[in-house]
Structure formats: C-alpha cells, structure tokens
Copies of this chain bind each other. A is one copy, B any other.
Amino acid sequence: MTETADILLVDDDVLIQLMVEDVVAQMGHRFHCAADGAQARAALKRQRFDLVILDRRLPDTDGLLLAQTIQADARAPFIVLSSLSASHDQLLGLGLGALDYICKPVEPALLRARIAKHIDAPREAPEDRVVTVGTALQLNTQTRRLSVDGRTEVLSPAESRLLVHLIHTLDRPSDRLEISKAICGREWVYGDRTADVLVSRLRRRLAGSAVEIVTVHGLGYLLTVKPEG
C-alpha cells in the first residue's frame, strides 16, 4: 500500500483544516476540503473519496445530515471529528454509519493513527502504476522495471523518478531546477551535476530504444521519440 487516497475534510475551522491537511499530506494522501454542507455535497458529487472526515457543527447544517448523502450516493466511508463528545452524540454518529468518532481536541499523531486504521483497511489491490511512451517503453514505477528494446532494466529510484518526469514532460525541455526538484525534491544550485550524471546513466539504459534524451544547450533536457531510422 503505497497507493495515495483522496480524503475529504468537511470543517469550517481553519485551524483544523491546516492540521488535517498537514496530517493527510504527511501520510502521502491527497487532501480536499469543504467548509460547509453545500461545498461538501458538491465535492462528493464531483469525485469519489476514500475517506470523508466530518465535523458536526457546520455553518449551514449538522455534519451528520451529510451522512446519508455520503453513504447513499458516494458510498464513501466516513469518520466524525467533532467537539460534541457526549456519549449520545457518539452513539448517534456511529449509529449513522461512521467508522469512528473522534473527539476534539485531538493531537495530529493520534488523528493520523485513526485515519490510517480506516484507510488501510479497504484498500484495493494495489495496482501497478505503469507509465508508457507509445509502445516503445513501459516503466513500472513500483518495481522500477523498465521494458525497452525487448530487454528489462531495473532502474534506481532516482533514475526512475527522472524518467517519469521526462515522460510527463515529453517533448518539452526541463531545466535543471525543475529536474532537481522532481528527482531530489530540492533546489538546484549552480555546480550540481547530479542531474547530468543521472541523465547520462539513463541514456545508457535507453540505448537501442525508440526514445532519446536530447540536450537543450544552456537549458536542460527533453525526452523525445526518435524520428524513423
């Protein structure tokens, strides 16, 4: 399970929004936010979520009134995060189908653990993430296996990230700053040759294939499909 999930927070408290966003981001999932019932319904209609975190006190409704919509239409699992902590409130939430009922205030680490319990459970069979360039090249970003020219190469993590980035920006040149960020997540500083060395290594891996990494002098690199030949 290295799959990223989509998590929707329904809460109008900005401090909670920031905290949850931080937690969700750290877990490697995608964060979405709705500040009231109307926004929540719109979001739920727009896309599917792997988990919804509901506050009860919303500007325009009680969060639990969304529960029905969530279950009937979106069929998404949800948990309640509320300052209404009385037993009968918790009972109501759990009775309406909440997977969990967490009382504010809650520490980020604990929220994270609770979220993890429910995200990890209903995980689909993790699909292999494969990116391709036509029929010339297939890269499994999980195993980092690259099928090319009939062979199979196993890339290093950085090589894999570089190739993914180049494929995403096919035919468009990337400068070193962009590449450095995509590969190592840091700023490029003058004199850093890491990208160049990785490009060099990747070129050898791609030898004989239908694609090539072209140097754009004074700028950076781009991946392109070789003209017939």
The residues of A with any CB-CB pair to B shorter than 8 Å are: 1-2, 87, 90-91, 94-95, 99-100, 106-107, 109-110, 113-114, 116-117, 120, 126, 128, 142-144, 156-157, 172-173, 175, 177-178, 181, 187, 216-219, 222
| Of B94, B126, B178, the contact of A1 (CB 8 Å cutoff) | B178
Q: A1-B177, A94-B117, A178-B1 are in contact. Are A216 and B109 (CB under 8 A)?
A: no
Task: For the complex, give the distance between the alpha carbons of A2 and B216 in Å.
Answer: 14
The chain B residue sitting closest to A92, CB to CB, is B113
A204→B169 CA distance, assembly (Å): 31
Among the listed B87, B99, B156, B172, which residue makes an inter-chain contact with A217, where contact means beta carbons less than 8 Å apart? B156
Task: Report copies per complex.
Answer: 2
Evaluate contact between A218 and B157: CB separation under 8 angstroms. yes
The 4 closest A-B pairs by CB, nearest first: A94-B113, A87-B107, A87-B110, A157-B218
Q: In whole angstroms, what is the CA distance A181 to B2 when docked?
A: 13
Contact B143 A114 (CB under 8 A): no
Q: Is the pair A95, B113 in contact by a Cβ cutoff of 8 Å?
A: yes
Are B110's CB and A91's CB within 8 A?
yes
| Contact present for A91 and B117 (CB under 8 Å) | no
Q: Please measure, in the bound complex, the distance between the C-alpha atom of A156 and the C-alpha atom of B113, giving whole angstroms.
A: 30
Q: Closest residue to A109 on the B side, CB-wise?
A: B91
Residue of A1, A95, A110 ringed by the most chain B CB atoms within 10 A: A110
Can you list 24 A-B contacts (CB < 8 A)?
A: A1-B175, A1-B178, A87-B106, A87-B109, A87-B110, A90-B110, A90-B113, A91-B109, A91-B110, A91-B113, A94-B113, A94-B117, A100-B117, A120-B181, A126-B172, A128-B172, A142-B172, A142-B173, A142-B219, A143-B172, A143-B222, A144-B216, A156-B217, A157-B218
Q: Residues of B contacting A107 with CB < 8 Å?
A: 87
Q: Which residues of B contact A110 (CB under 8 A)?
A: 87, 90-91, 94
- Provide the bound-state CA to CA distance between A117 and B99, in Å: 7
Contacts of A116 in B (CB 8 A): 94, 187
Q: What B residues does A94 contact at CB under 8 A?
A: 110, 113-114, 116-117
Q: What's the nearest-Cβ distance from chain B to residue A14, in Å?
A: 22
